[in-house]
Amino acid sequence: MSKPDNTDLPAGFAALVGRPNVGKSTLLNALLGQKVSIATRKPQTTRHRILGIHQRDDAQIIYVDTPGLHEGGRTAMNRYLNDAAGSALGDVDAVVMLTEAGRWTAADDRVLQRLEGTRAPVIAAINKVDRIRDKNQLLPEIAQVDQRRDFAAVVPVSAQKADNLDTLEAAIIAQLPSGPALFPRDQVTDRGESFMAAELVREQLTIMLGDELPYASTVEIEAFEQEGRLRRIAAIIWVERSGQRRIMIGEGGSRIKQIGAQARHEMERLFDARVYLKLWVKVREGWSDDARMLQALGYTQHQ
């Protein structure tokens, strides 16, 4: 990996915040042009703070993808998610608050309240505008959002279609300080392949079992070996009850094989390498409400 570039240019951090399932991870991947954050239609897919570094010729934007800000706090996991989202606001140069076109909710109001003490300028990004057939409705939508606080800018976008992202980035760059690049110019994220492997397994769990096991599972990488263009990966999927283990394995192991096959396909595409993936499903009662277990499984504040 190369060293950071010493040439002065706009370089800084922009936090992506919003209610759960508003499209933050999809937006981050679209801005970077590649996958660094898993994205599904299920709320609370993102559990960790993830940096995505957009290396533009004219700027370096370090996006901070966060778990969705939500009501709750009933379990240690709930509290971790809210703390991880809230802590990302402390040292950023800009905040992008993502909302959904035509659907402002009480959860959006709560996010707005959390931003009241934020010193960084806040940009509103109205997502999913591709779903609005009559584009004449966009102007009143922008006006309504603009009235809710003194935003630095209000930008309609479609993360799914990658529409109007240049306008959003121009608004972000206008808020960044000028200086040397903060990361090497070939770096795209602060996360390594082992972390991404665990996330890609968890993504498939969420996609295939989201209705049956929404938040009762997590993934731990037990072994990660690299041999040239081959990755040998062993992962444990932790669930909280034996009944959940049976659901995840499926009849004759059919479901866990399907999960593993799809996760392996995603890893090979991301790592540009062959992957040998082995999965086990184990029970650890109450892992999501045990702070020590969460820490052992990688859910720590700096992450």
Structural domain boundaries of the chain?
Answer: 9-179, 193-296
pLDDT in tens, 143-185: 999 999 999 999 999 999 999 999 999 999 999 999 999 999 8
Element (H, E) at 268: helix 254-271
* Domain 9-179 shares a fold with domain 193-296: no
CA distances from 149 to 38, 112, 116, 143, 213 (A): 30, 8, 9, 11, 38
Phi–psi pair at 36, nearest 5 degrees: -125, -10
> At 303, is the pLDDT very low, low, confident or very high (cuts 50, 70, 90)?
very low
Q: Which of 261, 258, 197, 188 is CA-nearest to residue 225?
A: 197
pLDDT given at position 256: 95
C-alpha torsion angle, residues 84, 89, 95, 97 (rounded to 10): 50
Superfamily of domain 193-296: K homology (KH) domain (3.30.300.20)
Q: Which residues contact 224 (CB under 8 A, 6 or more apart)?
A: 193, 194, 197, 231, 232, 233, 234
pLDDT given at position 293: 73
Mean pLDDT across the stretch 178-195? 89
Mean pLDDT across the stretch 107-133? 90
Tokens 């980035």 label which residue? 169
Alpha-carbon Rg for the chain in angstroms: 20
| Contact by Cβ (8 Å): 37, 30 | no
Tokens of 12: 């800084």
Mean pLDDT across the stretch 176-201? 90
Superfamily of domain 9-179: P-loop containing nucleotide triphosphate hydrolases (3.40.50.300)
| Burial class of 3 by CB neighbour count within 10 A (0 to 12, 13 to 18, 19+) | exposed
* Confidence (pTM): 0.77
pLDDT given at position 302: 47
Mean pLDDT across the stretch 128-154? 88
pLDDT given at position 38: 64
pLDDT given at position 186: 86
pLDDT given at position 301: 54
Tokens of 296: 């052992």
Least confident among 40-44, 180-184, 289-293 = 40-44
pLDDT given at position 123: 97
pLDDT in tens, 206-247: 888 876 665 678 889 999 999 989 999 999 999 888 998 999
Tokens of 100: 């959904």
